[in-house]
Amino acid sequence: MTASFRRLWGMPLLLGAATVFGLVAGLLEDGVWDVIAAAALALPVLVGAWYAFRPARPVDPAR
């Protein structure tokens, strides 16, 4: 795996794996696993909210 592939697809793959884990854990187990599943499913939502509500970076006119 090259560095550019990992830089481009690393976070989407991690968030996808967390989502799949959360769905499977929520379906198969009860008790504390429901809390773990909820946390795993909340992770992509929190990351999306972080990027949606963060301040915009100033545009560099040299680019």
pLDDT digits (tens, 9 = 90+) for 4-60: 888 899 999 999 999 999 999 999 988 999 999 999 999 999 999 998 998 888 888
Q: Indicate the domain borders of the chain.
A: 13-52
**How many angstroms separate the CA atoms of 37 and 34, rounded?**
5
The answer to whether 25 touches 33, Cβ cutoff 8 Å, is yes
- Cβ burial of 36 (10 Å; 0-12, 13-18, 19+) is middle
Q: What's phi and psi for 59, nearest 5 deg? A: -80, 130
Which among 49, 40, 51, 36 has a CA at the least distance from the CA of 16?
40
Between 49 and 61, whose confidence is greater?
Answer: 49
Assess contact for 25 and 37: CB atoms under 8 A. yes
